[in-house]
Amino acid sequence: MVNSMAVNEEQTAEIEQFLCKERVERFLYEEAALLDRREQKAWLSLLDEDIEYKAPLRITREHTNDNFSSSAYYFDEDYGSLKARVQRFESEYAWSERPPSRTRRFVSNVRASKRDDGTVEAKSYLLLYYGQGDSESYTFLAGRRKDVLRPDGETFTIAKRDVYLDHAVPKIDKISVFL
Amino acid sequence: MSTPTEEVSSENYNSAEHSPLLSEIEASLEDGKLPLKAFNDETVHELELERLFSREWIFIGHESEVPEEGDYARRYIAGDPFIFIRDMNGEIQVLFDSCRHRGTKLCRAEQGNTSHFRCPYHGWTYKNDGELVGVPQKEVAFKNLDQSEHGLHSAPRVDSYAGLVFASLSDAGESLEEHLGEFTWYLDIQFKLPDGGMEVIGEPHRWVAETNWKTGADNFAGDSYHTGFAHHSIKQLGLGGDDTVGVAGAGETKDRHIHCNGHTTSTRMVEGEDVFMTYPDEIVDLFNPDNVTSEQYTAAKEALSFTGSVFPNLAFLNFGDITDDPNKDVTGFLGLRKWRPLGPNKTEIWSWALAPKRASEETKERIYKVYMSNFGPTGNFEQDDVSIWNGITDVADSTFASQHNLELNYQMGTEQMSEVAYDEQWPGPGTVYAINLEEVGMQKFHDQWFDHLSTPLETSRRPERSECAGSSECELPEDGE
């Protein structure tokens, strides 16, 4: 009896974990689709108003492969500055997105774990195709992300996102997309 | 369309192959124009590397980036790799990153701290001032090698002003002091005002854009004209004030374009007001009138912004009335940028943010955030600039532009285009335009650029083989083996 209860508890925990990861994946895929469809205002509604959204600069050091600046960033945003960027992209004179770029965000390698405070830590890889205009050229941005998500029914809101790009020196004219 | 003029004598140009191109450029310049192809042309690029970047004073970094002995950062002059390092005596060195034995690069990181560099190939080891101190198996393999003559090559000339370190790959030519000349009056306002000096926050942004380096340089050499149009979104969304990002020449501000010793700066001011680039009080309190002259202090006080260009490829902007979110306070920030040519159509943009060293961490963070929201690869200003600049690169190598010698117009501010008014009362040096609608500053940039391109390097300008690193006087280390 005791053993089978323990097995059941283990299974329940694993099922819960599985469910959590499934929900996180579903959320991240939908988020990526929103951004790729340029529904940036809808994307804003997925962000908590106390969001911390950061993408620190990668720094090449001699002995370790994964160093990031503690004071220099591609993005160091709060809700207000993200909202301003969205409004700008949707305005008439944001030349960096005229014409609007074509993006495809491939989100993979998702790992999710519940944290003691009820939030979920979600780690993912991101590969972002970026093309614009009628040119044959395109580029990719690659990196990993670490999010803190707040459960909201069966879905989530984003409380925190750290993006760690893989590029030492991005070969892209400008980063005019959200990661 | 212009044709090469008779007076242009090809004997000024050392190579017949370059002569038609240079004559064509010269003819355009005389008319306040520039051939479009100059912005994407392999020959022009090669001449720039050979005759401009190997001769001029090129910005390397700010002293605050290497505060401690042994601190180093990888830096470049065009394609050439250098190590920007503070040696064990506290002296700043700019060392060519190449082992004297077989030539490979020694520096394997972007930044760090080290007392020595050891070559990964055969183990030759250099102190952080460039002195060769270790040669494996020396007694057997290299017993007669004079180590004192095999230190890392130093950039032939290294000098600094107000924390800005420059190097020249030529051992002849004007000194940095002569190169900057009276333009230091304007650099002082940006770099010397606060007690404790300025420091770089974090690491510089670096990214590679498909644009020609001269397009960025042009933009900072007095292009107030583009601000109200290219950056209209900033004004529209309330991210920058009318006076900073409004249409040039249309506002209430006192606008000036200044050409001084081959460099340029432009400013927008509010006469009689305490503006100080809208820095928060904490920063303004650090601005000490004793650090500059009273005229410089007044200029800083009234200024909403200064942008400028130091020939050839350094630019700065001390930019006020700007924010990352219309609901937050505006601030000023000081940015430095370097246009590093990687090819005729490719530039690595380097962009630094600076703040007074004695500012609180909180204020530094705020200044950085506003800098990053507006400049750097994600900046609301810079994104739009670079997207537009690429279009110039695209058309500059067109067959049409080349075959028909299409020219770009830089005539604004010349008598043929507009009424030119000068500010004779201006307290600082230089030619001072009483309006920010003029492109003569860019013409002057082009003229100097052309002077370099049309002047062959003398062969004697190559560094001596035996030159030791670590001292411009080339003293031998006392305890060298």
What confidence tens digit (pLDDT) does each residue in A108-121 have? 999 999 999 999 99
Chain B nearest-CA distance from A85, in A, is: 8
Strand partners, B73: B84, B111
Q: Are residues B157 and B198 in the same domain?
A: no
Cβ A122 vs Cβ A107: under 8 Å: no
Q: Does A95 touch chain B (CB under 8 A)?
A: yes
Residue at B16 is within a domain:
no
- 3-class DSSP assignment, residue A117: coil
> How much is the pLDDT for B245?
85
B233 and B378, same domain (yes or no): yes
The reply to whether B238 and B132 lie within a common domain is no
A139 touches chain B (CB under 8 A): no
The pair phi, psi for residue B92, each rounded to 5°, is: -85, 135
How much is the pLDDT for B481?
31
Residues in Cβ contact with A37 at an 8 Å cutoff, skipping those fewer than 6 apart = none
- Minimal Cα–Cα distance from B71 to chain A, Å? 13
Residue B185: in which H helix or E strand, if any? Answer: helix B184-191
The reply to whether B410 and B362 lie within a common domain is: yes
B127 - beta bridge partners? B116
**Using omega within 30 degrees of 0 as the cis cutoff, is the peptide bond preceding B289 cis?**
no
**B379 and B339 both lie in a single domain:** yes
**Phi, psi (5° rounding) for residue A100?**
-55, 140
Q: Strand A47-59 vs strand A155-165: parallel, antiparallel, or unpaired?
A: parallel
Say whether residue A83 is in contact with chain B using an 8 A CB cutoff: yes
Question: Which tokens hold the place of B468?
Answer: 């030791």
Q: Which residue's structure tokens are 């005729």?
A: B344
Tell me the mean pLDDT in the region A130-159: 96
- Nearest-CB residue to A57 (from B109, B203, B386): B203
The number of domains in chain B is 2
Instruction: Mark which of B135, B168, B201 sits at the end of a domain.
Output: B168
Beta-carbon separation of A94 and B204 below 8 A? no
Residue B333 falls inside a structural domain: yes
pLDDT band at A64 (very low <50, low <70, confident <90, very high): confident
Same domain, B373 and B233: yes
The beta-carbon neighbor of B382 closest among A69, A75, A174 is: A174
From first to last of its 481 residues, chain B has per-residue pLDDT tens of: 344 443 444 444 556 678 889 999 999 999 999 999 999 999 999 999 999 999 999 999 999 999 999 999 999 999 999 999 999 999 999 999 999 999 999 999 999 999 999 999 999 999 999 999 999 999 999 999 999 999 999 999 999 999 999 999 999 999 999 999 999 999 999 999 999 999 999 999 999 999 999 999 999 999 999 999 999 999 999 999 888 888 888 888 999 999 999 999 999 999 999 999 999 999 999 999 999 999 999 999 999 999 999 999 999 999 999 999 999 999 999 999 999 999 999 999 999 999 999 999 999 999 999 999 999 999 999 999 999 999 999 999 999 999 999 999 999 999 889 888 999 999 999 999 999 999 999 999 999 999 999 998 774 444 443 344 433 333 333 333 3
Strand partners, A123: A111, A146
Report the candidate in B375, B354, B302 with the shortest Cα–Cα distance to residue B190.
Answer: B354
- Contact criterion met (CB < 8 Å) for B377 and A83: no
pLDDT at residue A159, as a whole number: 98
End-of-domain residue from the set B112, B138, B168: B168
CATH topology classification for A2-165: Nuclear Transport Factor 2; Chain: A, (3.10.450)
Please determine, for residue A2, whether its predicted confidence score (pLDDT) is greater than 70: no
Q: How far is A14 from chain B (nearest CA, A)?
A: 41
> How far is Cα A57 from Cα A68, in angstroms, rounded to an integer?
6
Burial class (CB in 10 A: 0-12, 13-18, 19+), B329: exposed
In order of B28, B173, B344, B464, B465, the CA distances from B460 in angstroms are 32, 12, 27, 9, 12
With respect to residue B480, please indicate whether it lies within any of the assigned structural domains: no
Instruction: Output helix, strand, coil percentages for chain A, rounded to the nearest 5.
Output: 30, 40, 30
Residue B18 lies in a domain: no
A58, A92, A95: best mutation site toward chain B, by most B Cβ within 10 Å? A95
B347 and B396 both lie in a single domain: yes
Query: Considering CB atoms only, which of B202, B232, B324 is closest to A84?
Result: B324
Q: Where are the domains of chain A?
A: 2-165
- In this prediction, residue B12 carries a pLDDT of 47
Coil vs helix vs strand at B197 = coil
Going by C-alpha positions, the residue among B359, B379, B360, B361 that lies closest to residue B371 is B379
For residue B379, count CB atoms less than 10 angstroms from its CB and return exposed for 0-12, middle for 13-18, buried for 19 or more.
buried
Token pair 């709060």 is found at: A78
Q: Which residues have C-beta within 8 Å of that of residue A171, sequence separation ≥ 6? A: A139, B207, B208
Q: Structural domain of residue B69, as residue ranges? A: 58-168
Partner residues linked to B198 by β-bridges: B356
A58 contacts: CB under 8 Å, gap ≥ 6: A67, A68, A69, A164, A165, A166, A167, A168
Quick check: is B23 in a domain? no
Q: What count of Cα atoms within 13 Å lies in the side-chain half-sphere of residue A102?
A: 9
Which pair of tokens denotes residue B213?
Answer: 């380096």
How far is B87 from B76, CA to CA, in rounded Å? 19
Do B103 and B195 sit in the same domain of this protein? no
Partner-chain contact B328 A169, CB within 8 Å = no
Containing A102, the helix (H) or strand (E) segment is: strand A102-114
B263 and B199 within one domain:
yes
Q: B164 and B239: one domain?
A: no
Can you give the pLDDT at residue B417?
Answer: 93
Q: Which residue of A has its CA nearest to B211?
A: A173
Is residue B124 domain-shared with residue B257, that is, in the same domain? Answer: no
**B31 located within any domain:** no
Q: What does the alpha-carbon distance between residue B184 and residue A98 come to, in Å, rounded to a whole number?
A: 40
Q: Which residues contact B164 (CB under 8 A, 6 or more apart)?
A: B59, B62, B63, B187, B191, B314, B336
Name residue A59's beta-bridge partners: A67
How much is the average pLDDT of A113-139? 96
B111 contacts on A by Cβ (under 8 Å)? 59-61
Q: Which residues on B lie below 8 Å from A73 (Cβ)?
A: 202, 368, 372
CATH code assigned at B98? 2.102.10.10
| B199, B207, B373: best to mutate for the A interface, most A CBs within 10 A | B207
> In this structure, what token pair is assigned to residue A116?
């003691």
Count CB atoms within 10 A of the CB of residue B206: 20
CA distance A75 to A77: 6
CB contact under 8 A, B109 and A84: no
Q: Which residue of A has its CA nearest to B345?
A: A173
pLDDT in tens, B349-387: 999 999 999 999 999 999 999 999 999 999 999 999 999
Shortest distance, CA A134 to any CA of chain B (angstroms):
12
Asked whether residue B322 falls in the same domain as residue B418, the answer is yes
Q: Cis peptide before A99, with omega less than 30 degrees from 0?
A: yes
* Residue B7 counted as domain residue: no
Does B223 map to a domain? Answer: yes
- Chain B residues with CB under 8 Å of A80 CB are 324-325, 327-328
